[in-house]
Amino acid sequence: MNKPEATPPSHFLRQIVQSDLNDGKHSSIVTRFPPEPNGYLHIGHAKSICLNFGLAREFGGDCHLRFDDTNPAKEEQEYIDAIKQDVEWLGFEWAGKVRFASDYFDQLHAWAIELIKSGKAYVCELSPEQAREYRGSLTEAGKNSPFRDRSVDDNLDQFARMTAGEFTDGVKVLRAKIDMAAPNMNLRDPILYRIRHAHHHQTGDKWCVYPSYDFTHGQSDAIEGVTHSICTLEFEDHRPLYEWCLNNLPVPATPRQYEFARLNLNYTVTSKRKLKQLVDEKHVDGWDDPRMSTISAFRRRGYTPASIREFCERIGVTRSDGVVDMGVLEFCIRDDLDASAPRAMCVLKPLKVTITNYPEGNTELLSLPRHPKHDIGVRELPFEREIYIDQDDYMVEPPKGYKRLVPGGEVRLRGSYVIRADEAITDADGNIVELLCSYDPETLGKNPEGRKVKGVVHWVPASTSIECEVRLYDRLFKTANPDKGEEGAGFLENINPESLVVLKGCRAEPSLASASADERFQFEREGYFCLDSKDATADKLVFNRTVTLRDSWGN
């Protein structure tokens, strides 16, 4: 039933890998996905995962999962577990064990000492403010730190005492001795080690000095034999430092760094910091709130791994920044679910209909296909005297082109009979609470000669349908670029107050009682839905709308 995978369109990284293999530069490739475990993965990470794991798979190489865990203050085991789950759910497998940059702390520390010994690193005691001042600016060269010319012995002693825990956080740092006048600010004696008295989720209390990202990443790549170290464009300016470290240390391999443009998606945010703020301040129901841009949210919402992979392939890999329309992602989900999701009926806003000429107590078991195009079996649906249709499917004063039920008009019940609306019963306030209809026994599954009934509505039997809750999601932000220009709280003001609508008292067809958490359905005429993995229980069906049937945005 799944479409055969099309040959993927080529992109520059695929071409680089291909030509490195053709030229014999590498006999096989090694890539890595290096998340920092300081939050859940989002759709931007999915792009990086598909790229790194995808290239390795395509060219028969390996992709490592390596946690870039150099900042113990912001990292947690919960994030590590979630990240592993997300990578696996997306359909990828890392080569060997899960790796951690912290696995290499001993080696990195030894290399730092080597740099000191060769006169390429020194312990600096400038305060953070002073260091900033000494650093200069894009238009102005920096100044040498007064600590730059310390003797090797003094530096070794200072670094040993930093490591032994003699000093408090921030008092001293180890810096590379490169060039304070370098046009690339990253080369102006960057920090290699910081003092941080913090418990680390992997190394416990072993260390109170931690290597910087720049002193960790390239060397970790080298230790693991990574051939292509693929990262996002903001690291382009770090590449000279990445190479400086590799060139000045006795590393076992020389990986190359390549950059590509990060994925930005409109109507959402893809920054762990902002996503964390949404969670911490309870604007959403956790990292997996189905409105979030996290992979766990997409999973809970019913997106399929295949559709996310297809999306990542479709948007391509380039070196120019852009914003991808959320509609592209939704298109991929619809496309996948249209082909695979079984059909079912669920009435979101029930209106009771009594079919007055249908014998009381009678039940007919109708059999409806689970999919209109693929043979994936049938579902049974009892037809009886009392049913529910949606309130929106009956109108006293219908707009032009309305094909559903009107007073005295006819409509087909999906997979069943044609009914006619004879009378509406209203409550004291004039609200319609019930319809009295009559059915035509000649119309089961077909229109009789010479009579064409255009409208088809969905319905469920009153006595055997199941009461359920349905959650309708919309975009979390009401503006295309929620964090335009501002830092901090700005994006919170753009939260869409209608991003979640909870409907209670909905009625699902009986076959949905056996729905399982990993199934998605097309509720006819309403969209694609799945059970909510968090809140649905054996006694209470809760459905999430994965995506609408068609793109109604901007209409």
Catalytic residue annotation: 36, 262, 272
Query: Which residues contact ligand ATP (rule: CB under 6 A)?
Result: 34-36, 44-45, 47-48, 68, 231-232, 262-263, 270-273
- CB 37, min distance to Mg ion, A: 11
Tokens describing residue 214: 């720049």
Residue nearest to ligand ATP (CB): 44
Single-letter amino acid, residue 454: K
Q: Which does 263 bind (CB under 5 to 8 A by kind): ligand ATP, Mg ion, none?
A: ligand ATP
Closest to 464 in 3D by CA, of 345, 317, 300: 345
Alpha-carbon torsion (277, 281, 287, 293), positive or negative: negative
Q: Which does 494 bind (CB under 5 to 8 A by kind): Mg ion, ligand ATP, none?
A: none
Which of residues 1 and 489 has its CB atom nearest to ligand ATP in the complex? 489
Radius of gyration of the chain (CA): 31
- CB 138, min distance to ligand ATP, A: 22
- CB 178, min distance to ligand ATP, A: 24
- CB 303, min distance to ligand ATP, A: 17
Q: Which does 271 bind (CB under 5 to 8 A by kind): ligand ATP, Mg ion, none?
A: ligand ATP
Which of residues 326 and 419 has its CB atom nearest to ligand ATP in the complex? 326
Which of residues 34 and 415 has its CB atom nearest to Mg ion in the complex? 34
- CB 124, min distance to Mg ion, A: 24
Single-letter amino acid, residue 165: G
Q: Kindly report each contact of residues 91-95 with a partner whose C-beta sits within 8 Å and lies 24 or more positions away, as own/partner.
A: 91/305, 91/306, 91/309, 92/49, 92/53, 92/54, 92/57, 92/63, 93/53, 94/33, 94/53, 94/63, 94/64, 94/65, 95/30, 95/56, 95/62, 95/63, 95/64
What DSSP state is assigned to residue 375? -
Query: Which residues contact Mg ion (rule: CB under 5 A)?
Result: 36
- CB 87, min distance to ligand ATP, A: 11
What DSSP state is assigned to residue 26? -
| Inter-residue contact 409 to 389 (CB < 8 Å) | no
Which of residues 12 and 402 has its CB atom nearest to ligand ATP in the complex? 12
Single-letter amino acid, residue 6: A
Which of residues 227 and 270 has its CB atom nearest to ligand ATP in the complex? 270
Q: Which does 154 bind (CB under 5 to 8 A by kind): ligand ATP, Mg ion, none?
A: none
Which of residues 69 and 526 has its CB atom nearest to Mg ion in the complex? 69
Query: Is 497 strand, coil or helix?
Result: coil
Closest to 302 in 3D by CA, of 329, 280, 283, 284: 329
Closest to 330 in 3D by CA, of 475, 543, 547, 501: 547
Closest to 403 in 3D by CA, of 349, 459, 457: 457
Which of residues 36 and 551 has its CB atom nearest to Mg ion in the complex? 36
- CB 190, min distance to ligand ATP, A: 18
Q: Which positions ≥6 away from 356 have C-beta within 8 Å?
A: 422, 436, 437, 438
Tokens describing residue 46: 């999915």
Q: Which does 150 bind (CB under 5 to 8 A by kind): ligand ATP, Mg ion, none?
A: none
Q: Which does 48 bind (CB under 5 to 8 A by kind): Mg ion, ligand ATP, none?
A: ligand ATP
Q: Which does 262 bind (CB under 5 to 8 A by kind): ligand ATP, Mg ion, none?
A: ligand ATP
Q: Which positions ≥6 away from 522 have C-beta within 8 Å?
A: 337, 338, 341, 342, 343, 344, 528, 529, 549
